[in-house]
Structure 1
């Protein structure tokens, strides 16, 4: 049963039982605690936490997930993967244990002909929390499971929480017995390889307090409503139903692995080290595809760094298998074709996705060259000083500055006879991560320990927030907080959080960035870095004291930067205008699902399938600028939520609103633009200034993103575009209106010339096959051909030449063909052995590894490797010639 079919059956099963099908959220959610969505319940957290009222009593979804904690284990086990899909069904105060168990049992044991998954009931085991007699009895009643196949476990295994104070509850896990060949009998408490977990049913009924570990926290009481949260690993179910041994061999992953093996000239299942590399490649290529599809781009921190690491590990694994050419153009389209049945946006957005991925591979290929040079210098310095170990600082520099993976540093240093101070490297990495986490905690206060903020709110009441009416206030310092402690004063250079009795600063919310500005006081000043609302009614400023000493109870002057506020107002009002333009051009279903704006810049996410055409982008821009030119009035009024909805106001998904009083921002007459919004805005649309759409892209399943600049930033953007066109007209000596055609013509001619040159080079190389075979050298009874190819010859042509020459050698006589060449500053080697040679005991893989000092991969009849300096091509061939002669003498 194909993975997409299992996915569809799961959703249909629960839709037929009254659940609302909810599309997968993006892998990126606005949650300060999560880098990526890592579980199926994450998009539903606001409902479980009581922060929002769920719009449906039951829901089902297949959620895209990324877990990065086990990247190093990928490929080594049957279970670890970075990207996975979590099937889930959820009940918000509706059904509970009996309904969850019934629904699960009917699906997993139901006949495939009737939409079920068809698992044999005799192979199913379950675990329950140690004192959950109710769940145990329900499994016996509903499923007829004997007591010996219902095992009890403690809190660490069968009691679920989010790891922080909040909802929790016992759970029941469903396992499939894979058979005696996978391990000992005795159920999951004995062996979780033989007994594989596929589904976890969480009975969310309690509230937990703070604790120190997974099984050490107090239960504070029962929740107002009992909820159900389940998670079924789609890939695990797939490999069980497809009769394969691990997740890398299922239909959505294995074809990538298979193609990687073909490119590298090796065979999956023959060599453990090669198999690990192939699994890493297949997993990381798919994970990278999904991340880029949801809007992540490679970078040096956060989500971007995870993506960069995945892409580079995949590329490096191909190189370790001996494949030197760009590999992602061969592999990424295969993964796209496998996944687009479930996620069509991967097909429509592939031009953007592939451009990002291929550019990253090319950059990493250059990084390997630069990093190798830096490593060689460090190794030489270490040896000159008499050292035996490369310092942790050098390893960290290679990693942090050049993106050089530590495992690559370890391998290459070892080849030169040195160890690496791994402990020193790990210490520096930990310090860097802690700094990053501290920065993140300092900027955001969501889900943090808010006890100090709560104490200030209880003592002083709500902040008098005046952002709508003024840019300056005379205020008093009510509290100063440095990390986790209240302090009496803050000195120059310190970063602290300050609470004022009143403030003109806009606190970040609704997609609008916080205001910038200063707080002045007697004898000094402080720069405002960020403004947040950790608790309802309380505004907290993060500041850096520039000079002087800021003390508790000090009288201060809080001043918003007027230019910053003007740019922010232009961008936020511009967001509303673009939203209205989207609906006018695309239709009323193009509704905003998220936004972000800062001075001069805005981005808006909206529900839509497929990319926008160039004409649609132009139309959206035209409608927006016509609204600016018409100088439409912008007004903000307050009214009850039902009245606002009746007036046609748009409420954004994911936002919570006070039903008794909401702020309605209207632009223009009637319902042209009317939204619930708490942001700051211009007085009329002409104050937005010019609006330029700068980009449009995919950010997830059925979701697109429009980016634009406004005001002076739009002028600057257009000026750069104008200057670029002027430079091109000067270089090409052509009028402005023909620049695009001229460049297109030049690119076409260049590509045609490159193709012709490549063909000529390949023809020249392959034309020599006959002469090379005719002049084969006899080495102790083995026909041997060893040759170099011109620099720049593609890896595919090198392999073809080796195969062509081998095919011209006598079929009944042992023969070895070795073709070597240089690509940049590295050499590569391909070896092909005739069938008669293989029968006589010759192995291409062994010859390559021996000639290259252990590098390379493949099988007995064809293998390849590389990584040695380009000037070593001739010594490598000489070494191989000697090896063949020695092997021939023994055969």
Structure 2
């Protein structure tokens, strides 16, 4: 009996077919952006079903089977170095939600392994949790596995937990043995040169409480995972996952671009090719699922993966753009199972091209700066690059620490990583926190109340005021029973007309009132199912259980409605006039303005911005009425409703539809008719990150505020310039011309002054044999004047050398060297000479053998630099 020779696609389909024939509902892979807000990326096949396993949601089917896309980067440094570490992989799974359990899962796990994939039973080893006698007996007695090939393992390996508390249970894994001839003695399943774990069966049968006690679950679940890449390695009989048909074509494409042969390459080259093959798969699928490169969260992971691809490409000799070519191979390999990668191919490649171009510039700039840094380090006789300097390369120039370490290592140097981390922490501490999320102490207190109070009933879509009961009261984040006038409080009501901050729209403002009670509400935030009203008691006393009247500020609400609906119209206009593929990357809807971030590789022209503004205003004047309904999400998507990437939606969604104009999934507050917006004005359009643009605008009454501010500015300028508003631009242009002329005249005077000063230096020339040298500092003279002075001095000096320095600005040093032909004949070159001197001042530079300029940043080192210059000239000319 020998294993079947199956392609990756055939393995995937055989698995899904096997379990479909056994009553499992085949479901499509979930997005790499999980619904679970506690997880950045989908890391396991069970993640889409986590709410079911935790009892938070009822299953639609008792059994399911999937092939789930997954991303893990916790051990990214092992990618390409081991046989089976990946960032992107597919997990084949079968799941039971309170239906079948341990015996059936074990039977089917063995059957698909030995009957469908034809793995020889004598090559299989299974592991069980050390205390799971039931599973051990099933494998031994029911399946017939040799007891010597059933290994008991500890909790770290074979007991699954969802967290400190909650559903958990033992698991059993099936391993393939590459060397069964070694026998059954001393089997070590951690020996990955002999064994590969390809199928994990998790038996969720307990609930763990806060004390660690295990109680049997009423409904026991099955969660399994078979690694597609691992099974492909086994069935295709290749030495590692990278040489399977799932990845190797990408590796070969990269090798062809580099002009090398994978099979004859050394291990370092093979590792780079494997990294490229793995990471490109991850990038393609992440981008197809809507993730864009950025400096935070999922976007940072994508950018890091892409930069690793470019770096490894350079290490094997690829110095030009290549990522789109290897991405096309990855798309071809995936498109049959995941059609979205082909439909998104153009945007994927555009993102790769943009990011690769940007990073190649970063590499070029950073490598030059790092080269100077390495020269300085070696000149000082030390072997470690300062951590703060390494972080500056990253923080200022985007040069990754890993690359700094690699280049340093090639030069026999190390990097102070601890110092780097300290500099990074200091940078974070000094960066203002603009998250604006709910106070964590409030969140913790609400978690404690979750079992005793009900979710807030939001009635604000149709009511602006109502009576409500105070069900929870917090002071400084701590639960309390009452609060008095002057106190800042957080209030939870049983129902509320106040909109809680969500989907980019800020929370409502307003008041809570009662007998001799007045509470000003400044903000409302949503935490889980509770609306938390942040306010100040201006009069009276407030207690839990009080019945109050909640009244929103309707003027603020109208402004927010106008701005929010204008955001929808803006997105529709951008899709129509700029690019249908544009998608929202973030937004802010406030009372006084709106902000809309969107994916776009290039800036909008002023004409295009005006066209977008005009189209939105056209829709406003056309008075389109809103049609709002709550329908199943599948129906909404079928109708073409636009969903915001990253936003989580339930089975039923609220659709805001202005027929013929815009249709989006949105829980926000909107106008009933576009005419209620009044008008729309774009304030600015700018880039905020690579591939992300931002439009800021105002709508409705906020436009009056905007115009009033600008009108006031124009009036003040008119008064100051004694000119009419229409004459201000001409007046400013005239003043700019006059200022430029004055600056030029000042530079001329400074130059003449520098020359006059330098004339006095002739008497201070030092003789060294047949040569004369002048070393001097000339105050705040600019670089051009300094060069002119040096040339004039050398002409009058004859055979010799001039080295001059100045400090034109507090943190700027200018240096110049002028050498005669005789000095050059002595082997002294002005460019190399002044470049080395400038490094003492934290800079660099160079030029011709007879005349060169340089600069620096540390003015305190000027005297030291000139002293070194004098000593080196004396030594070179003696």
Give TM-score scaled by structure 2 length.
0.61
Other-structure match for 2:136: 136
Who is 2:196 aligned against?
196
In structure 1, the partner of 2:101 is 96
Q: Is the 8 A contact 1:505 1:514 kept in 2?
A: no
- Deviation of 1:426 after TM superposition, in Å, equals 3.3
Q: Distance in 2 between matches of 1:682 and 1:252?
A: 51
* 1:468 partnered with 2:461: yes
8 Å CA contact 1:689, 1:711 repeated in 2: no
* Contact persistence 2:459–2:497 (CA under 8 A): yes
Instruction: Output one character per residue of 1:706-739: Cα deviation in whole Å (capped at 9) or x when no partner.
Output: x9999949x99xxxxxxxxxxxxxxxxxxxxxxx
For residues 628 and 29 of structure 1, do their structure 2 counterparts lie closer, same or farther at Cα, with a shift above 3 Å needed?
farther
Structure 2 Cα separation of the partners of residues 71 and 20 of structure 1? 34
Structure 1 residue 372 displacement after superposition = 2.2
Of the two, which has the highest radius of gyration?
Answer: 2
Closer/same/farther in 2, CA of residues 517 and 371 from structure 1, 3 Å limit: farther
Encode CA deviations 1:745-795: one digit per residue, 9 max, x unaligned: xxxxxxxxxxxxxxxxxxxxxxxxxxxxxxxxxxxxxxxxxxxxxxxxxxx
| Aligned CA distance change for structure 1 residues 572 and 319 (closer, same or farther; 3 Å) | closer
Offset, 1:393: 2.0
- 2:24 alignment partner in structure 1: 19
> In structure 1, what is the Cα distance between the partners aligned to 2:296 and 2:448?
35
Q: Which runs of 5+ in 1 are unaligned?
A: 111-115, 212-216, 587-593, 605-621, 693-706, 717-868, 872-891
Cα deviation for residue 226 of structure 1 reads 1.1
- CA shift, 1:404, in A, is 1.5
Q: Pick from 496, 499, 506: which aligns with 1:506?
A: 499
- SS of the residue aligned with 1:207? strand
Residue in 1 that maps onto 2:824: none
Match of 2:233 among 235, 239, 242: 239
Q: CA deviation at 1:377?
A: 4.8
How many residues are paired up? 646
2:414 counterpart (412, 415, 419):
419
Identify the residue that residue 178 of structure 1 maps to in structure 2: 178
Distance across 1 between alignment mates of 2:250 and 2:128: 38
Secondary structure, counterpart of 1:407 in structure 2? helix
- Contact 1:689 1:710 survives alignment (8 Å): no
Higher RCO, 1 vs 2 (CA within 8 Å, ≥6 residues apart): 1
Match of 1:335 in 2: 330
Deviation string 1:124-178 (CA, Å, 9 cap, x unpaired) is: 1111122222222222344221222222122221111223432211111111111
Kindly indicate whether the alpha-carbon contact (under 8 Å) linking 2:481 and 2:543 is maintained by their aligned counterparts in 1. no
Q: Counterparts in 2 of 1:447-462, with a 5 A limit?
A: 452-456=445-449
Q: Would the alpha carbon gap of residues 495 and 78 (structure 1) be closer, same or farther in structure 2, given more than 3 Å must change? A: farther
- 1:62 aligned counterpart, secondary structure: strand
Aligned partners of 2:846 and 2:511: how far apart in 1?
62
Residue 683 of structure 1 deviates from its aligned partner by: 2.8
In structure 2, what is the Cα distance between the partners aligned to 1:344 and 1:155? 40
**Correspondence 1:515 to 2:507:** yes
Offset at 1:181?
8.8
In the superposition, relative to structure 1, how do residues 690 and 166 fare at CA in structure 2: closer, same or farther (>3 Å)? farther
| 2:289 maps to 1:258 | no
Indicate the residue corresponding to 1:366 in structure 2: 361
Q: Whole-Å Cα distance in 1 between the matches of residues 43 and 409 of structure 2?
A: 36
- 2:100 aligned counterpart, secondary structure: coil
- Secondary structure at the aligned position of 2:528 is classed as strand
* Distance in 2 (alpha carbons) for counterparts of 1:460 and 1:202: 34
**1:572-615 deviation digits (Å, cap 9, x = unpaired):** 9879999xx99xxx9xxxxxxx99976468999xxxxxxxxxxx
1:73 — aligned with what?
A: 78
Aligned equivalent of 2:114, options 109, 114, 117: 109
**1:238: how far off?**
0.4
Partner residue, 2:90 = 85
* 2:532 counterpart (525, 540, 546): 540
- Equivalent residue for 2:672? 683
Give the structure 2 partner of residue 122 of structure 1. Answer: 122
Change (3 A) 1:675 1:420: closer
Distance in 2, matches of 1:668 and 1:368, equals 48
Cα distance, 1:181–1:208 mapped onto 2, change above 3 Å: same
Counterpart among 401, 413, 416 of residue 396 in structure 2: 401
Q: 2:15 aligns with which of 10, 23, 44?
A: 10
For 1:410, which of 405, 409, 424 is the aligned residue? 405
Provide closer, same or farther for how the CA distance between residues 6 and 414 of structure 1 changes in structure 2, counting only shifts above 3 A.
closer
The verdict on how the C-alpha distance between 1:516 and 1:81 changes in structure 2, with shifts beyond 3 A counting, is: farther
Q: Is the 8 A contact 1:87 1:233 kept in 2?
A: yes
TM-score (norm 1): 0.61
- Residues 1:163 and 2:152 aligned together: no
**CA 1:222–1:573: 2 relative to 1, 3 Å:** farther
